[in-house]
Amino acid sequence: MAGYIIGQLKEITDTEAFSAYQAGAGPALAKYGGKVLVNSTKINSGDGDWSPVGMVVVEFESLEQAKKFYNSPEYQGVIGQRFNSADSAVVFADGD
């Protein structure tokens, strides 16, 4: 069953560093079989108070594989750039 990482971007505080994070995360996504389904800054809120300026949805073969990617040395090597350059968060979702 597929697993997903869903990320929200509230604000980018350092565009150059965030771009470096994205460039570094890409190869790790590919290595762990991540498929980007949504990567958009064209967000419209339907209701509630969730209003990110950007969103990404990445599909993996399983939830375990999504977590393997997230905890991998490759991704952990660049995640600090995301933390330092943006107000963002991720959640894991099981495709069940």
Domain holding 40, by residue range, is: 3-94
Query: Phi and psi for 16 in degrees, rounded to 5?
Result: -65, -45
pLDDT of 96:
76
Question: Shortest CA distance to 17 belongs to which of 86, 90, 85?
Answer: 85
How many angstroms separate the CA atoms of 57 and 21, rounded?
16
Strand intervals (E) in the chain: 3-12, 35-40, 54-60, 86-94
pLDDT of 46:
86
Q: What's the predicted TM-score (pTM) here?
A: 0.91
Domain count, the chain: 1
Percent of the chain whose pLDDT exceeds 70:
100
Res. 53: pLDDT tops 80 = yes
Average pLDDT over residues 22-48: 94
Q: What is the CATH number of the domain that holds 21?
A: 3.30.70.100
Across the chain, what does the average pLDDT equal?
A: 95
